[in-house]
Amino acid sequence: MKDLKVYIIVALLALGAFLYLQYRKPAPVNWTQTYARTDKIPYGTHILYHEFSTLFDGVAIRPYRKRMYNTLEELGSEADAYVAIAPELDIDETDYQKLLAYVKSGNDLFIAAHTFGSLLGDSLKLRIQGHLSWGDSVSTANFANPKLHSETGYRFDKRITGGHFSGFDTSRTTVLATNGNGEAIFLRYPIGDGRLYAMASPDYFTNYALLSPDGAAFASKALSYLNPQQEVIWDDFQAMGDRIQQSPMHVFLTDEHLRPAYLIALFSLVAFVGYGIKRRQRAIPVLEPLKNTSIEFAQVVSSVYFQRRDNRDILAKQYRYFLEHVRTAYRLNTQEVDENFMQYLSQRSGVDVSVLLDILGGMNDLQRGGAIDDRALVSYHRHLELFYQQTLWKNNTSNNALT
């Protein structure tokens, strides 16, 4: 019970310290590319949405968070312009057919995305390339229409991604704007009595882009190609997804403050369950200790080394024992072990110098930090055993000669 109180106190202190630090630290800038009208972060579209009606003399704008088919089924006869600003376009066959019929009946469709999906992209022969950062310097974009053209171009910060259309149907497409390299970024397709406007990047309409005068001017002039008279549909589904299909955990896992709190609570629960399991585990049987005999002791030590499979540690201990033997038997200083040292040791011990050079090679491999597998360990061990065998043979020969 005392241990449980300590655990609770420590957990509460840790939670309190974390909450205090979270409260004190400055809020970092959220650079998530949501393109949602409700987000005031740099890559949200809060400013554009609230200024949209101003651009069109008070024409109402209506957000809708359903698939395109459902949206047009309900509002297609009331709205004459449809706007979708999102990272990518998510439409299926039914959405595509409904959207095509909507535009053919004389309405405008404005899409700004990094990718347009396979259905729409294949039908319009659209290919987008290079929706990456433009680099460390600003870049420009400009309109082909002389009335909207700027002599210096509309300048954008490096954080505005610059995709362009690498392929499109030139026979029925009008290029409305290009980037600084002359590549098309804004296209117009006539479809029936209506028009489809395609922008190669949604970043031009984000809060971050609209903060600069050039960005605000470029966005307003790009949208001026629309001519809504009744109502504008603002597609929330492409940027925010279906509200019904989102899990309740989505709120915890996407919020930067709720996510750490959720993880701490989860970790605390796991730790508490682990503590409870530890307290209720069955009694551990008492095992008699191994007899402290030399053979059994050697077996225990060897089994421990075998299970650890730490070949580097085993080899390091063998070389330390070898150097200790050299210092004790031959009264040599082993601070610097190199080829000259091995030549001298060969003269003192009578061991072939090739054996000692093999031992030196193993010591150098160990110091370089390379992997020591089982085969290399056995090879280095044989070199040491050969040294001890030759020194033993030399000593026995010398003793027999003396007697």
Q: Is the pLDDT of residue 281 over 80?
A: no
pLDDT at 59: 92
**pLDDT for 177 beyond 90:** yes
Is 357 inside a domain boundary?
yes
Q: Is the pLDDT of residue 268 over 50?
A: yes
Q: Would the pLDDT of 295 be above 90?
A: no
Domain containing 261: what range? 2-28+256-278
For residues 10 and 92, state if they share a domain.
no
b/e map of 238-263 (b: 16 or more CB within 10 Å)?
Answer: bbbeeeeeeeeeeeeeeeeeeeeeee
One domain, residues 62 and 171: yes
Does 71 share its domain with 214?
Answer: yes
Q: State the chain's mean pLDDT as an integer.
A: 84
Average pLDDT over residues 30-44: 91
Residues 148 and 260 grouped into a single domain:
no
Interval 212-231: pLDDT, tens: 999 999 999 999 999 999 99
What is the DSSP code string of 156-185? E-TTS---EEEE--TTS-EEEEEETTS-EE
pLDDT computed for residue 398 by the predictor: 52
Q: How confident is the model at residue 282 (pLDDT cuts 50, 70, 90)?
A: low
Predicted confidence (pLDDT) per residue in 255-267, tens digit: 667 778 888 888 8
- Based on the fold, state whether residues 154 and 10 are members of the same structural domain: no
Q: How far is CA 151 from CA 140, 146, 160, in A?
A: 11, 10, 21
Kindly indicate the confidence band of residue 246, based on its pLDDT and cuts at 50, 70 and 90: low
Beta bridge partners of 179: 141
Question: Could you read off the pLDDT of 116-147 as tens digits, one per residue?
Answer: 988 888 888 889 886 554 444 568 999 999 99
Whether residue 69 is found in the same domain as residue 126:
yes
Residues 238 and 261 in one domain: no
pLDDT, position 147: 93
Q: What integer is the mean pLDDT of 56-75?
A: 91
Task: Give the pLDDT confidence score for residue 184 in this predicted structure.
Answer: 95
Are residues 10 and 52 both part of a single domain? no
Strands (E), 168-299: 174-179, 184-191, 194-199, 231-235
